[in-house]
Structure 1
Amino acid sequence: MVRAQNDLYMVVNNNGAEVNAGGDNTLAALATGELTLGELQRCAINILDFMMQTQVFKRGEMPRAGIIRLAADPACDEACPGAIKIAEQSRLRYDEELVLSVERTAVYDVLVSVHANGAPLAQTACNLLLNEQFVATIQTNGTLGREIVQKLCRIELQSGKYRVGFDFIKPGLVVDWLELRLVND
């Protein structure tokens, strides 16, 4: 796609470049010489030229999304046996009952792996909830069953327990796992 200058097809979702959401081989191609830095710079120029013509660019800079702060559920302390203790990096397979246990207040990046069996033009979405409070919307097009990773947001969790839930807005989205990564800023 780089040589064909199909640049806009290379754009990924928010935070997608950090987790290689498109699953591309750009870094490997650069290392082997199959791709040059100049070719990537040309793509960046094309993408930026396009973006500078859009309304969102003309609107100006908006404030960045802040850290979402959530309180633990005190009722869950005794009613939630088997809660999973969160480490510096915890990747959790999703099932119907998922309860997290946080030992100390900390900030985490939230990542998910999802797939949708629909065709690429299909769209699906769901909301991630902690203790029935909205955290983020997960959305994707049909992936033909291929898993994709999305970085959703940054949250601050107080010590205590949290029930994980999903509100499926449009059918078809499957959550494979949820990951919390401790932020060491």
Structure 2
Amino acid sequence: MEHTEHQTTTVRTSSEQLTPALPRAQRRGARTHRWRRDTVELAAVFLSVTAADLVAKVVVHGPDGPVVLATSAVALLATALFHTWWSHRHRLHAPPPPSPLPDVGPTALWRVRTTTRNSPAGLAPVCTAFAERQVAIVSMQSHPLQHGTVDEFFLRAPHTLTPTDLATLITTGGHHLLDTPVRVG
């Protein structure tokens, strides 16, 4: 099977930033798309002007011009009042804000490196185990391997948690420790 790649070059813009130049086919497609969008916008402007002209002629030349104008004003006012009532009604019945997180007291920062198999929802059990013990994931980086991943966590945990407690949480969550959890701060 043959694999081809588009070669892009780099162009220096007026602000001295390097930006990749698109291949000719993509530039042509962008121009076509822009031209279509501009045409649709111009057609919408012409349609709006035509509708406004038609309304103006009905109001000026029609026998019921003032009545049409007054009816339009009443309809707009009713719509504005309904919208105000609706938004106020729904603002009062909005769900309450979430409760603040419980205070866990002093915390410590930990670095933990683990391995696990690469599968959908593979992090869910360990994240659940962390949440049950008030451990927050500050940062996580995943490094793919041929048969799984190496996950490096930086955790904010209660100060009373020991390396053994963290190891138990991680193995309960389906991960395997690469080394002992290290307290960073």
Shorter chain as denominator, the TM-score bin is under 0.3
Give the number of the structure whose alpha-carbon radius of gyration is greater. 2
Q: Which has the higher contact order (CA 8 A, sep 6+)?
A: 1
Instruction: Report which of the two has the higher share of helix.
Output: 2
TM-score (ref. length: structure 2)? 0.27
